[in-house]
């Protein structure tokens, strides 16, 4: 079945999406509304649909000049290893030609390696205050 890609935020059922992410153990605590806002406020988003079902998504923060950051890349577990996330990440990368794209991953280096990303050791991070505390749920 061909996967249809688009960037249509209004077509996404965020409650169902949160349920699907949680079922795949890929829920980092955002409410459906916080999930929607984090996509809405990203410069570039992509969704993959199999018929009516949302089966993949990802988003990219970008300054529009030189730096971008890739986030929330997910393919539903029953659609994996068919090249869907690869296509989705390529579409996001094509939106920021000439820009450096960073990302953080704990255990999916295999996937990013296959896409030509190189590991950069010593990524440092902190949370400002408490996780998800800055915005209403």
Ligand X SMILES: CC(C)(COP(=O)(O)OP(=O)(O)OC[C@H]1O[C@@H](n2cnc3c(N)ncnc32)[C@H](O)[C@@H]1OP(=O)(O)O)[C@@H](O)C(=O)NCCC(=O)NCCS
Q: What are the residues binding ligand X (CB under 6 A)?
A: 26, 73-75, 80-86, 105, 108, 110-111, 114
Minimum CB separation of residue 49 from ligand X in Å reads: 14
Distance CA 63, CA 43 (A): 8
Select 37 or 79, whichever has its Cβ closest to ligand X.
79
Cα three-residue angle 107-27-42, rounded to 5 degrees: 90
Minimum CB separation of residue 98 from ligand X in Å reads: 23
Select 34 or 129, whichever has its Cβ closest to ligand X.
34
Distance CA 116, CA 96 (A): 16
Select 10 or 107, whichever has its Cβ closest to ligand X.
107
Minimum CB separation of residue 11 from ligand X in Å reads: 20
Minimum CB separation of residue 90 from ligand X in Å reads: 9
> What strand order describes the sheet that includes 67-75?
4-6, 44-50, 53-62, 67-75, 100-102
The H or E element spanning position 38 is helix 32-40
């Amino acid at each position: 079945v061909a996967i249809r890609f688009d960037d249509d935020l209004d077509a996404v059922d965020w409650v169902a999406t949160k349920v699907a992410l949680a079922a795949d153990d890929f829920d980092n605590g955002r409410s459906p509304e916080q999930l929607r806002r984090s996509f809405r406020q990203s410069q570039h988003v992509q969704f993959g649909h199999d018929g009516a079902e949302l089966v993949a998504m990802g988003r990219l923060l970008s300054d529009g000049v030189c730096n971008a950051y890739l986030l929330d890349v997910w393919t539903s577990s029953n659609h994996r290893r068919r090249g869907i996330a690869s296509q989705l990440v390529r579409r996001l990368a094509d939106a920021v030609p000439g820009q450096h794209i960073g990302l953080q991953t704990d255990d999916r280096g295999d996937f990013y390696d296959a896409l030509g990303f190189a590991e950069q050791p010593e990524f440092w991070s902190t949370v400002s205050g408490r996780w998800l505390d800055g915005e209403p749920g």
